[in-house]
Structure 1
């Protein structure tokens, strides 16, 4: 609860103003220190959200219903809130305020925020009151002009207001001589064709006696008499009111400027959101294509493996098989890049020494770049380890170095640097507030314009010639960085060069490398013949998996769905192993594994998937087999699953 305090000091500060920001959904009012001062609140109120009722509490009871109705109208769709109202201070003083505000709407026209400006107009209201008093008890000068005359009948107060020597009659020329603007005369003269349709007008004058600039208002009536007329009216000083209006216009302009800035920021945020949604959609599509492509490649690679074993030795045939296998492996590498962009590749997170990794691959990078390019390594001392996949990180560095080389076709220096970065947001990416290593590859080559830079990480976008790039390099690096919990930024200036930066999370003291996978030399390949159930909804993949298993000497049952697999498991209690696909309709591989474990807790299970991520809670004893897999990888997974099942739970 905020404590009101004495408001007397503010009343003297005519024109003081403050701002408010009303969060409509949360019913919280945020105000600045000036608003708090005007309302007589403690300064802490400017730094903490207040209940919206505080907006109305100090409003004079007679004005409160009117203001509540105006605010409700704004929230219901009115374009602008602009009202004068009184507030009552803790000391009992009544002050006048002018509130002007604007409602911000969501995309579906739902009111989100009500922001505005509060201005102290007490002095202006007092001036208006003085004017009303002057109209009834002096302070107003009267005049009468008859068409065709060169003089005007005036009162003494009329002369005083204009700084003229008192006289009952003054020349028209003398009266109009005090005007600073010649847009219209204060009093028309003989033959003057600019007779006003209305007497009501305001004029800027310089008083005749002291030269002081003032504002004079004219009110009256034109009385037509035959072919002529009489102009009867009064004048009075409105300088204070005009100054208040000017101040109010200034603050109003500032508010409108602030609103315009907020609209621009909102538009930028919406554009960033649309771009993020677009890239997410592209990532989903790319991941789906890569998954299906993995299945096709697996069928090709497994068929080629079995075909090589069954064909008689022939050099020409072997060359054809080698070419086909190399093409399939290149396709598998392409799908890995696509899955990297979609953040679905299979990564091994481990503690990596950035300095040692890049230094160790220096010879490889220099040999890849060629003699016309110099590699310069700049690393801060004692850099902490990062959590990353060393193989994928090496590929990313090499890819960025090749891009830097291609941007400098005549040769040049490529810089690879690494430094500790405590604030990822400083590199224009949204990351958690924790330390990162910024690994940058910098060239001084052609650079990119804004349009090219905006599309650089899109999949299949490339500025290289046909056959010189897949357009997946930067998108793969972008996906790799995000999957590791970091980020990737590009800064480029056309004609000056490009800086590509990987932000990788620093490994905590307790994080350890993942245990390295066993190599073929570590595996005992003398397993007995097993009875294995293979499950996959893709008939082509299922057929090839069965063929690979049978070639290894195992007895294989096959099922095209999770339900069919459950029925076969019930009919075959002597089953030794279950190999199942993950992405299947109606029942996924992990759901099948959970149901099987309820009745057959010791049955070894292998889960095959082209995606890296698996649902939370997936059983840790399940062996994961990435697609596409070779016969050797399948054999390794079988041995690992059998060993895992033999160990105590």
Structure 2
């Protein structure tokens, strides 16, 4: 190897970059493996590694980058990605500049730049930087240019400092110029004469105003001490010394000092003068002039302060950047751990589901055999512990589906009192401190209780079951100063739950890791290390934050911050539904794991249902294309194949008759959970589930499906998050709120009834979301309309000259031209077209200038409202249905 990582006979070759260059797979680049490198290339790289100056070698026409440790520091977050990377790919924002460099130097030329200004991406944002750059060609063994050696020295700090200094000097020069102008225009603060025999000072009217004397006093002469009292105490000794020098040796008098004005403020002045002597050399008169220099002195002080604090500001900026980088690294680490733990929990829950399902079916077949039932009970308890472990992993990963409600903290903690006393034992004293008029919070009740219980149990263990546990809940208004070093928190109103113990506390080293999963200070077998990580993940998923304060020997306080909720408390609902059996309905089970699928089939069969199975969404879709009647779709969320679970559910809902969907998953990713909450209308059965849970969920979905069949269907902007369809479906009740329509302000009257009915009417549908476009197009077709659907205004406009349309139905927010501007363009071509504007912002979405005759409808669309808007074009039976 030509570049050993530790030593190659020259100290300059030691270092991190020597090791990286030696270990890099150069055979994947145009340079080739290091064993085949030319002597010229080898010598250049050796010289580069030995240099303390940032050097980078751009070799071959592509400019493959080889650089030293100093350049690695300059590269920042792009290191070590830049090693072996073509220069134009490594620095894409300055690719054209580097292309010019390569072309010039490979042709034998050289380039140099002094304080070259470039715009580079740093931390994802463009930033102006300045650099000294020197480029020279590097010959190969034949003497022809084969690469470019670049010296890169960033001068941004020096350039900015010089600019600041130049600005300050310019301001000072401008002040001096104003001072000179003021002198030339008579802006002098007065003239004075000291009688060296009597010591009295006489002056003109301006002198009198400056020293706050009356004009008469100044004309007659004021005592030296009277004038001295008006001078700032800090300046008096200097003034006296210069006065003495001027009177003793005739030295020119020039001094700057501050005079107290009538308002008590001090103002800077400059006194200039020269003592006069008689023929015997005795001082007789001392005339002088006062000049206003206040603005200049203020400017000088500002410049001096800038110079004195510049270094400190640079130090503070570097420290702030280091802190931000550390916070970013910590966030990335926690995110990576979260993704890993979420995936583990998913697979773990699938395993637990197989075990749990078989245990329950075995229990049903075991009869009354005591030993068998005891073993099955022990195994079931182990499954529950495993499910709890997986739930903690999902909580930390922020992947658990939450069911948030509006909670009253006082009522919540009162309900937990008995549970806390029972869990902590009699030796732990529990004190509850609640503020008056606690605000409401929005959170998952079970998860919040679980989080507080976890904190209480941790506190008990830290106190060795003997101490005082204090549970507090208080309202807090956080300001910007408090949130400055806590980027997860924003200023605002919060309810803070805190749990404080009198235990041993934790060292700073332990505090750095307390929220990481599986980290624990307890002995082996006494803790999973998931309690605090679960609390951390749950609070973050709920829009809150967790803070921990601890000191060795003084205990620990863990605080949970939840944003204030101004909605009324959610009434508690108790589900006393028993585990019902089926009535012979047919259920399609879609599950890619064969063991899980078999377990679900056996459970449902025991409950009295007919069961069909499919291993993927693609296979399940075949059942909907057949004549097989299906009453319920029971599908895993995470599925292989082209047809994903949400798409399969949407198609099931669009089937005639509609088929409702019940989802199941051990890890929902982002398909049906967004911002930590289940999407509106989604019914989810989390793995691992018990047979009774399955029975209740299935019966609930089937019952609700029957009730929903009589309701009007809703359609809206359909995404993976809103599994909605144009027919009723229990699993997809549309988001709450009544859909309304409003008339867009008109400049002239128009009536849709005036347009004669056409059969079939032609509709131009413009919607950029594919799912929503397909659903609404199907609905319009079902209503007997001829629908042409496109994804953008740019696709729609070429169709208008070739086809007469009766109705334009367009989303307001489109990727290119907006929906309202499209409507104006279509109306210019076809003035009689009926315009329906649809917006997810509701029926009051702004559109600028009004559109005559247009109607604005809010999403999700209500089918009754849509029929009303299209009544003039529908068959009477469709319009009335």
Residue 592 of structure 1 corresponds to 648
Partner Cα separation in structure 1 for residue 251 and residue 592 of structure 2: 97
- Using the TM superposition, give the Cα deviation of residue 249 of structure 1 relative to its aligned residue in structure 2, in angstroms: 8.1
Structure 1 pair 247–609 and aligned structure 2 pair: CA distance change class (3 A): closer
Residue 354 of structure 2 corresponds to 299
| Alignment: residue pair count | 450
Structure with higher RCO (Cα < 8 A, 6+ apart): 1
Partner Cα separation in structure 1 for residue 632 and residue 433 of structure 2: 52
Residue 411 of structure 1 corresponds to 466
Structure 1 pair 609–209 and aligned structure 2 pair: CA distance change class (3 A): farther
- Alpha-carbon deviations, 1:534-553, whole Å to 9, x = none? 00111111111111111112
Partner Cα separation in structure 2 for residue 389 and residue 572 of structure 1: 42
SS at match of 2:314: helix
Q: How does 1:5-84 map to 2 (within 5 A)?
A: 72=117, 75=128, 77-78=130-131
- Alpha-carbon deviations, 1:513-546, whole Å to 9, x = none? 5x7463333x6x2541111110011111111111
Does the 8 Å contact 1:622/1:641 carry over to 2? Answer: no
Does 2:371 align with 1:316? Answer: yes
- Using the TM superposition, give the Cα deviation of residue 611 of structure 1 relative to its aligned residue in structure 2, in angstroms: 3.5
Partner Cα separation in structure 2 for residue 620 and residue 288 of structure 1: 24
From 492, 495, 518, give the equivalent of 1:437.
495
From 618, 622, 630, give the equivalent of 1:567.
622
Partner Cα separation in structure 2 for residue 609 and residue 113 of structure 1: 59
- Using the TM superposition, give the Cα deviation of residue 414 of structure 1 relative to its aligned residue in structure 2, in angstroms: 1.5
- Alpha-carbon deviations, 1:269-301, whole Å to 9, x = none? 011011001001101111111111111100000
Does the 8 Å contact 1:416/1:440 carry over to 2? Answer: yes
Residue 632 of structure 1 corresponds to 692
Partner Cα separation in structure 1 for residue 605 and residue 162 of structure 2: 71
Q: How does 1:247-326 map to 2 (within 5 A)?
A: 251-252=306-307, 254-326=309-381
- Using the TM superposition, give the Cα deviation of residue 401 of structure 1 relative to its aligned residue in structure 2, in angstroms: 1.4
SS at match of 1:343: coil
Partner Cα separation in structure 2 for residue 313 and residue 444 of structure 1: 50
- Using the TM superposition, give the Cα deviation of residue 73 of structure 1 relative to its aligned residue in structure 2, in angstroms: 7.4
Which structure 1 segments of 5+ residues have no match?
A: 1-67, 81-100, 106-110, 128-205, 215-243
From 437, 455, 459, give the equivalent of 2:513.
455
Does 2:163 align with 1:103? Answer: no
SS at match of 2:329: helix
- Using the TM superposition, give the Cα deviation of residue 247 of structure 1 relative to its aligned residue in structure 2, in angstroms: 9.7
Partner Cα separation in structure 1 for residue 441 and residue 302 of structure 2: 57
Structure 1 pair 631–71 and aligned structure 2 pair: CA distance change class (3 A): same
Cα RMSD (Å): 3.9
Residue 762 of structure 2 corresponds to none
Does 2:692 align with 1:606? Answer: no
Residue 451 of structure 2 corresponds to 396
- Alpha-carbon deviations, 1:99-125, whole Å to 9, x = none? xx97379xxxxx999984532268789
Structure 1 pair 449–532 and aligned structure 2 pair: CA distance change class (3 A): same
- Alpha-carbon deviations, 1:186-225, whole Å to 9, x = none? xxxxxxxxxxxxxxxxxxxx9997999x9xxxxxxxxxxx
SS at match of 2:701: helix
- Using the TM superposition, give the Cα deviation of residue 645 of structure 1 relative to its aligned residue in structure 2, in angstroms: 1.2
TM-score (norm 2): 0.47
Does 2:702 align with 1:642? Answer: yes
- Using the TM superposition, give the Cα deviation of residue 597 of structure 1 relative to its aligned residue in structure 2, in angstroms: 2.4
- Using the TM superposition, give the Cα deviation of residue 260 of structure 1 relative to its aligned residue in structure 2, in angstroms: 2.0
Structure 1 pair 604–410 and aligned structure 2 pair: CA distance change class (3 A): closer
Structure 1 pair 372–126 and aligned structure 2 pair: CA distance change class (3 A): closer
- Using the TM superposition, give the Cα deviation of residue 359 of structure 1 relative to its aligned residue in structure 2, in angstroms: 2.5
Partner Cα separation in structure 1 for residue 626 and residue 174 of structure 2: 94
Q: How does 1:448-597 map to 2 (within 5 A)?
A: 448-509=506-567, 512-513=570-571, 516=573, 518-521=575-578, 525=580, 527-585=582-640, 586-597=642-653
SS at match of 2:696: helix
Does 2:389 align with 1:334? Answer: yes
* Misfit runs of 4+, over 6 Å: 111-115, 122-127, 206-212, 244-250, 616-619
- Alpha-carbon deviations, 1:546-568, whole Å to 9, x = none? 11111112221110110100012
Residue 49 of structure 2 corresponds to none
SS at match of 1:422: strand
Structure 1 pair 104–557 and aligned structure 2 pair: CA distance change class (3 A): farther
Partner Cα separation in structure 2 for residue 467 and residue 115 of structure 1: 64
Structure 1 pair 465–584 and aligned structure 2 pair: CA distance change class (3 A): same
Does the 8 Å contact 1:435/1:506 carry over to 2? Answer: yes
- Alpha-carbon deviations, 1:2-34, whole Å to 9, x = none? xxxxxxxxxxxxxxxxxxxxxxxxxxxxxxxxx
SS at match of 1:78: strand
Structure 1 pair 251–311 and aligned structure 2 pair: CA distance change class (3 A): same
Partner Cα separation in structure 2 for residue 429 and residue 246 of structure 1: 36
